[in-house]
């Protein structure tokens, strides 16, 4: 190669664009970035597993003070076969077994009974186990209901081992009720009328004979089989106990007459008509 050819030739330098991304200096960026904020999610209601309030046990109550001895009043309510004649919504009834004779009166009492209840869309035949504490308390239980009278006072029932089996069969078909307890209570007390005009209470009390009075209390405890039946009964249920005891009062008048001193009953602050009628659900009472 000649010296001429070795003469330096200018070299063309080509710069390729760099693929690197040139970011601005970090000194120009905020030192901290605020986190991305999201709107709060709406809270979901938590599900709690509690009993349906519509199928809660309902307690219906009513009471009357009647001008009769307790014994004849009790005998009327113990005559279960006659219920269709005066008990509202009872379309048929029959006593299916009797207790052993009780220790005091030597008398047998209903032990089990079949009743048919019909009202609007309701129509149910069920068997009740019956417990009679003579002239004091009568209880009829069906379904899951349990009697409240102590066994020690009902020897004429529990001396027969078959009664426990009958009570277990008292559920009926449970299409409307899962539990039903009916309790009639009778408490007799003496009553003396107001003294005649011109006499002091002491003088009047000394000469006037006492007249019988009996306080009658009715309690119904019912649990419906479904919320539908319970909802349908809301309008009628609070009135049932009042209707039953009013029908019982009318029946007593038909069988026992006017009673002892009916004129004095109107003076007892209206207690015969207005004493305690209501319905309770759980611990809340509605009057």
Is residue 151 assigned to a domain?
A: yes
Give the mean pLDDT of 85-109. Answer: 95
Asked if 108 contacts 101 with a C-beta cutoff of 8 angstroms, the reply is yes
Is residue 152 assigned to a domain?
A: yes
Q: What is the tens place of the pLDDT at every residue in 49-64?
A: 344 544 788 899 999 9
| DSSP SS3 for 17 | coil
Is residue 28 assigned to a domain?
A: no
Is residue 197 assigned to a domain?
A: yes
Is residue 56 assigned to a domain?
A: no
Q: What is the tens place of the pLDDT at every residue in 167-176?
A: 555 545 556 7
CATH of the domain at 276: 3.30.530.20
Give the mean pLDDT of 225-244. Answer: 73
Cα separation, 275 vs 286, whole angstroms: 14
Is residue 44 assigned to a domain?
A: no
Counting every residue, how long is the chain?
Answer: 287
With a cut of 90, say whether residue 201 has pLDDT above it.
Answer: no
In the chain, how many domains are there?
1
Tokens of 265: 């009953």
* Residue range of the domain that includes 197: 61-286
What is the pTM for the complete model shown?
0.68
Asked if 212 contacts 188 with a C-beta cutoff of 8 angstroms, the reply is yes
Pairing between β-strand 110-119 and β-strand 122-133 as defined by DSSP bridges:
antiparallel
Distance of CA 211 to the CA centre of its chain: 36
């Amino acid at each position: 190669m000649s010296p001429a050819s070795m003469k330096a030739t200018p070299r063309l330098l080509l710069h390729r664009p760099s693929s690197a991304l040139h970011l601005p200096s970090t000194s120009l960026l905020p030192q901290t970035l605020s986190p991305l904020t999201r709107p709060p999610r709406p809270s979901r209601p938590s599900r709690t597993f509690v009993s349906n309030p519509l199928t809660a046990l309902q307690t219906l109550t009513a009471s009357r003070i009647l001008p009769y001895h307790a014994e004849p009043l009790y005998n009327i309510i113990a005559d279960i076969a006659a219920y269709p004649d005066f008990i509202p919504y009872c379309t048929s009834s029959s006593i299916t077994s009797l207790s052993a004779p009780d220790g005091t009166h030597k008398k047998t009492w209903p032990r089990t009974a079949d009743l048919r209840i019909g009202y609007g869309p309701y129509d149910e035949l069920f068997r009740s186990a019956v417990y009679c504490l003579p002239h004091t308390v009568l209880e009829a239980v069906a379904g899951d209901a349990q009697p409240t009278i102590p066994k020690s006072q009902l020897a004429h029932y529990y001396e027969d081992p078959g009664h426990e089996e009958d009570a277990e069969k008292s559920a009926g078909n449970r299409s409307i009720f899962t539990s039903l307890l009916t309790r009639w209570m009778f408490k007799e007390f003496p009553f003396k009328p107001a003294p005649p005009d011109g006499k002091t209470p002491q003088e009047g009390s000394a000469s006037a004979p006492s007249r019988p009075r009996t306080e009658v209390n009715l309690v119904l405890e019912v649990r419906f089989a479904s919320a539908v039946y319970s909802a349908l009964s809301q309008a009628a249920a609070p009135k049932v106990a009042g209707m039953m005891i009013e029908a019982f009062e009318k029946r007593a008048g038909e069988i026992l007459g006017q009673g002892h001193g009916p004129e004095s009953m109107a003076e007892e602050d209206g207690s015969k008509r207005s004493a305690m009628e209501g319905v309770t659900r759980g611990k809340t009472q509605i009057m």
